[in-house]
A and B are shown apart, each in its own frame.
Chain A
Amino acid sequence: MAKRKRPAKSEENETNNKVILPQKKHYRQRAHANPFSDHSLDYPTSPDAVDWAIHYPAFASSGRAPEFADVGCGFGGLLIALAPLYPDVLMLGLEIRVQVSQYVQDRIAALRVSSQPQSSPDIAETHPAPYQNVSVVRANAMKFLPNYFAKHSLSALFFLFPDPHFKSRKHKARIISPTLLAEYAYVLRPGGIVYTITDVHDLHLWMDSHLKNFPLFEPVSEQVLREEGKGPIIDAVYTSTEEGKKVERNNGQKWLACFRRIEP
Chain B
Amino acid sequence: MPSYPHTQIFIGPKCTIDISGPHIQLLDSATGAVQFSTTSLGDEEKDALVKSGPIRCAAVDKAFSRLITCGEDKMLKVWDINIEKDVSAIKLFNQRELPKKPTEIAFTKDGQTILVSDKFGDVFSYPLHFVPPTAAQKAKRERDSIISHENPSDGTLILGHASPLNAFVLSQDEKFIITADRDEHIRVSWFPRGYVIEMYCLGHLKFVSAVHIPASHPELLISGGGDPVLKIWDWMNGKLKHEVEVWSAVEPFIVEYPAEKRKRAVGDDVDAQRGKEGKRGKDEKMKDKERQGTGDEVEPLSPEGTTTTAVDQKPEKVLVIHNIESSRQGDQNYVLFNAVGSTALFMFPYKDDASTDDINTLDFGRPVLDFSVLEDGDIMVILDGEWKAESSGPIAHVAMVKISSGELVEDKVARQSLLDALNSTCLLPATEEELKKLDLYHDLTAMPKHSSDPEAAAVDGDGVVPVGAPELSSSTVARRKAKGREGSEVQEGPSKKELGKLKARQAVKQARQQTGGEEEAPKMKRVKSERSSTDQDVIMAGGDQ
Contact = CB atoms under 8 A, between A and B. Distances in A.
Interface stretch (A140-148, A229-237, A242-250): A140-148
A222 B112 CA distance: 45
B507 interface: yes
A116 B146 CA distance: 48
Interface stretch (B190-198, B241-249, B332-340, B372-380): B190-198
Given A39-B456, A109-B524, A26 B160 contact: no
Chain B residues touching A, range: 35 or more
B532 A54 contact: yes
A38 B204 contact: no
Nearest to B302: A40
Interface stretch (A80-88, A153-161, A176-184): A176-184
Contacts of B504: 19-23, 26, 106, 110
Nearest to B205: A45
A146 B189 contact: no
Interface stretch (A67-75, A191-199, A201-209): A201-209
Nearest to A55: B524
Interface stretch (B55-63, B307-315, B495-503): B495-503
A113 B159 CA distance: 45
B116 to A, nearest CB: 14
Interface in A122-157: 132, 135-138, 140, 142-144, 146-147, 151
A178 B195 CA distance: 8
Contacts of A142: 162
Contact of A264 (B121, B193, B202, B523): B193
A106 B162 contact: no
A77 interface: no
Contacts of B455: 98
Nearest to A206: B146
Given A143-B183, A215-B193, A54 B464 contact: no
Contacts of A151: 197, 199-200
Interface residues of A, number: 77
A186 interface: yes
A44 interface: yes
A258 interface: no
Nearest to A28: B497
B522 to A, nearest CB: 5
A101 B504 CA distance: 15
A210 interface: yes
A239 interface: no
A138 B464 contact: yes
Contact of A146 (B185, B452, B463, B526): B185
B285 interface: no
Nearest to A96: B456
B146 A210 contact: yes
A254 interface: no
Contact of B515 (A116, A147, A180): A116
Contacts of B523: 54
Nearest to A134: B524
A37 B187 CA distance: 20
B459 A99 contact: yes
Interface string A36-53: 111111111111011100
B451 A98 contact: no
B181 to A, nearest CB: 9
A210 B525 contact: no
B66 interface: no
A108 B193 CA distance: 41
B294 interface: no
A241 interface: no
Contacts of B262: none
A98 B500 contact: no
B460 interface: yes
Nearest to B182: A38
B209 to A, nearest CB: 16
Contacts of A49: 527
Contacts of A146: 185, 187, 200, 202
Contacts of A38: 449-453
B145 interface: yes
Interface in B454-502: 455-457, 459-460, 463-465, 496-498, 500-501
A99 B463 CA distance: 9
A170 B438 CA distance: 31
A136 B501 contact: no
A210 B160 CA distance: 14
Contacts of B162: 35-36, 140, 142-143, 179-180
A-B pairs with the 4 shortest C-beta distances? Answer: A179-B160, A46-B202, A26-B500, A186-B197
Given A40-B453, A116-B517, 12 more contacts: A37-B453, A40-B304, A57-B522, A98-B456, A101-B464, A105-B464, A117-B515, A143-B163, A168-B145, A171-B148, A179-B162, A264-B190
Interface of A: 19-23, 25-27, 35-47, 49-51, 54-57, 60, 98-99, 101-102, 105-106, 108-110, 112-114, 116-117, 132, 135-138, 140, 142-144, 146-147, 151, 168, 171-172, 174, 177-183, 185-186, 202, 205-206, 209-210, 214-216, 264
Interface of B: 120-122, 145-149, 157, 159-163, 183-185, 187, 189-190, 193-197, 199-200, 202-205, 302-304, 449-453, 455-457, 459-460, 463-465, 496-498, 500-501, 503-505, 507-508, 511-512, 515, 517, 520-527, 529, 532
7 contacts: A21-B504, A40-B456, A40-B460, A50-B527, A55-B524, A144-B183, A179-B122
